[in-house]
Amino acid sequence: MPTAIGDNLAKKKLAANELVLCMGVNQLRTPNIAMIAAACGFDAVYIDLEHNPTSLETAAAVCVAALGMGITPIARVTSHDPHDATRILDCGAQGIMVPHVQNAAEARAIVEACLYAPKGHRSAFGSGPALGYAALGQAEVCRRLNEQTLLMAMIETPEAVANAEAIAAVEGIDVLHIGASDLSTEMGIPGQYQHERMRAAFETVAKAARSHGKSMGVGGVRQDFEFQSWLLRLGVRYLTGGSDVGYILSAGRADVKQLRELKLS
């Protein structure tokens, strides 16, 4: 689905209650990873700056490549420092994923940092990569970027689950995104995504998102398609399907297994 530069495909699909599929970028460093993701049919890429040594310059290049392919570049930032988010937004990201959001105050801080007045207090920046350097006045730049920027609060602890209703109520937050790996680990059941306590957490966050007209996202469940089907029925509309490393390892291991089984004579 091609889009004009400046349009946010993921945000548009979420607003229409359509499924957004995202690919994680963890280790590959060249901009063509965004082209590969688009060729696979993904709607978005998220560049993981939290767990990997990717530089701002590299992340910016991937963002610009994604924009050129009409898919949404999202950056998972390292912390709640507002400059982590605003610098990559200025470099072309159309979405910001903030880890470990615990409460409404932290969610409001994301909005304050990432949106322009009157919705927030993002430092003014001209028409950069996210708008294709279009000749626009500052008022139009602010309006368009406020409309097109996707803000995602990651729910990764029992405290955050308990506060999901308040987080969802924050104007400007678009997606409540459960980080299944961190949440299950914090619960003392690492990797047990279908545990009854995890299912209850998914249901709590889904209800909160639904009651405030927000979208729900999930990452970390990867290739458990039956469970992902349950999540979609629950209301999840943003799924991280896998990552560059995961796909390479999966395909590589499968091929090596088959090749090792071939007879030598």
Catalytic residues: 51
Closest C-alpha among 215, 222, 187, 213 to residue 201? 187
Bridge partners, 73 (sequence order): 45
Q: Is 87 exposed, middle or buried (0-12, 13-18, 19+ CB in 10 A)?
A: middle
Bridge partners, 236 (sequence order): 216
Q: What is the residue whose two structure tokens read 């050129």?
A: 68
C-alpha distances in angstroms, 169 versus 111, 153, 181, 214, 234?
12, 12, 25, 9, 19
CA atoms of 82 and 205, how far apart (whole Å)? 25
User: What backbone torsions phi and psi does residue 107 show, to the nearest 5 degrees?
Assistant: -65, -40
CA atoms of 159 and 69, how far apart (whole Å)? 38
